[in-house]
Structure 1
């Protein structure tokens, strides 16, 4: 089968098209004939081995697949690894049937990014009706969905950040009340002002470094900063407990992998997200569809912030 493999750590250039033997489904696994595979920012961390879970070489990256089972069912699944390939063996418990009313790209956007946005707001951030929510990277894969879901879940005000005027306009189109530049200098003040001047209740943060620091400073009393990424690959300033105590604020870490074994945290939210997508209440953005052989270009575009929404590999090309 055709696949993308990495045999050494590095940048996008180490993503190499190869021919590999077909995988064999073991106990508790399901073989999927892959049509499309999702690309996530976490995949770029796997390629340079900078993620929370370590990468063991050689490996076929990719955690999301959509395709057909041997008995003809159309499913999408979290694969762990092995998604950038014509066939993947996935955990049967993480295979989810996809209605024909939802196309491949929008369906793939629901697995990691949709579930993450859903849980950031409901499970980690515990959004209450009327609260002000800041969504960093509001035109990105997770951010664009979080902007829409925050509005749907009852946020009183939604503030997005995005790196270009075009992306900020897109975030506003998706339902944000305000969109600001994420440049760290002066960011805390811009977030407070956009949120109404008194600080914000929830910040969904995936950059790290000085953006994390500014986001923490922008919180109102009893505000929550939910951190779920390390896109800048820059550490933030260590948080002193007294800094949190002074305004009764919280820093909450979130990693989707920690939820997958808990009842009600995977299939049920996916059903809701797919239903919302099918009837038009949720608008997943597809930022690019690349042939499997051009996975490296997809990673280059993602890391360079040239994209919006979900990136997809078409394994059939």
Structure 2
């Protein structure tokens, strides 16, 4: 038997239970989990805002730990190897988790599990979004929610890998200071309706070359106002996005300003491309080029509260669940 968090979708109820130790299939590995990443997806699943795989399930879509069993068809991995993995079928908030071998990446002995687990989901979300944006050295990028898990990594990648100028958006002074400390050139208060004007002021009136967008509502209109001539608006994530529609005036402005709208959905990209991004970002972390911002490390018994804080946007950086020392 092994311990796991069990959730009932829509009830916000979580409890730690003893469950049968899972057995890997032919193309799977079993991971002795040391740390798991807490993602917005987990919070939405538990709250019933996304469809759950079963009435009772174990959340958790990314883990770091040690392989302790391997399926008969697996090659290139070994028992005892330190790894990270993504789990599309969930199950990460447990002492033992099953992962498809194709979604497992080895990590260096020097990389702590709690740092490594901040990478598997965020790597494709950040690196591949920036590549899709065609961001070039010297261009200006606007990063919304720049103190969040993805935002803190986007700021670092844009500055230290792509050589861009970064305008960071955040709703509190503390979060703006965090973004500036990570290398952002300018930070604007996105809690003010005029934040797009601050972006233009910070770019000598030109606007940003690339504006990232992951929220709907009134945010797309402001994002377009912050975008410069021949700029690229890059849409990723689904936070309130289905409430969004471009007006004919906005479409006319896009045309007149020779701007482009680019959509990025990592779940539909080739798996090899996604895993290559994970390996690339892990290497950058191991070399000290970038550093995942892990703001909170919680125990299994504290996951419910951490999920609530995440949904209420009370956290900065990545929240990690410590499963075992």
Provide the TM-score with structure 1 as the length reference.
Answer: 0.91
Structure 1, gaps ≥5 residues long:
none
In 2: Cα distance, 1:175 partner to 1:226 partner = 21
* Preserved CA contact (<8 Å) 1:208 1:229: no
In 1: Cα distance, 2:47 partner to 2:257 partner = 38
In 2: Cα distance, 1:31 partner to 1:170 partner = 37
The SS at the match of 2:307 is helix
Q: 1:109 to 1:44 in 2, by over 3 A?
A: same
In 2: Cα distance, 1:255 partner to 1:199 partner = 25
Q: Which deviates further from its counterpart, 84-93 or 181-190? A: 181-190
In 2: Cα distance, 1:283 partner to 1:226 partner = 24
In 2: Cα distance, 1:239 partner to 1:147 partner = 30
State which of 52, 57, 60 in structure 1 corresponds to 2:58.
60
State which of 157, 162, 178 in structure 2 corresponds to 1:149.
157
Q: Which deviates further from its counterpart, 42-51 or 194-203? A: 42-51
* Preserved CA contact (<8 Å) 2:206 2:229: no
Counterparts of 1:142-181 in structure 2 under 5 Å? Answer: 142-181=150-189
What's 2:106 paired with?
Answer: 97
What's 1:44 paired with?
Answer: 43
In 2: Cα distance, 1:91 partner to 1:134 partner = 36
In 2: Cα distance, 1:121 partner to 1:109 partner = 18
In 2: Cα distance, 1:115 partner to 1:102 partner = 19
The SS at the match of 2:179 is helix
In 2: Cα distance, 1:92 partner to 1:157 partner = 38
What's 1:118 paired with?
Answer: 127
In 2: Cα distance, 1:223 partner to 1:56 partner = 40
* Preserved CA contact (<8 Å) 2:136 2:164: no
**Alignment length (residue pairs):** 310
* Preserved CA contact (<8 Å) 2:214 2:241: no
What's 1:17 paired with?
Answer: 16
The SS at the match of 2:191 is coil
Task: Please state how far the C-alpha of 1:116 moved relative to its aligned partner.
Answer: 1.3
In 2: Cα distance, 1:127 partner to 1:311 partner = 28
What's 1:242 paired with?
Answer: 252
What's 1:69 paired with?
Answer: 67
What's 1:257 paired with?
Answer: 267
* Preserved CA contact (<8 Å) 1:202 1:219: yes
Task: Please state how far the C-alpha of 1:313 moved relative to its aligned partner.
Answer: 0.6
Counterparts of 1:81-96 in structure 2 under 5 Å? Answer: 81-96=90-105
In 1: Cα distance, 2:241 partner to 2:304 partner = 19
What's 2:31 paired with?
Answer: 32
What's 2:74 paired with?
Answer: none
In 2: Cα distance, 1:246 partner to 1:100 partner = 53
Q: Is residue 2:217 matched to residue 1:209?
A: yes
Q: 1:283 to 1:86 in 2, by over 3 A?
A: same
Q: Which string of whole-angstrom CA distances, capped at 9 and with x for unpartnered residues, describes residues 168-227 of structure 1?
A: 011011010001111251122122222331111111222322222211221112211222
In 1: Cα distance, 2:204 partner to 2:84 partner = 41
The SS at the match of 1:313 is strand
Q: 1:154 to 1:233 in 2, by over 3 A?
A: closer
Structure 2, gaps ≥5 residues long:
69-78
Q: Which deviates further from its counterpart, 88-97 or 187-196? A: 187-196
State which of 267, 275, 278 in structure 1 corresponds to 2:283.
275
* Preserved CA contact (<8 Å) 1:117 1:142: yes
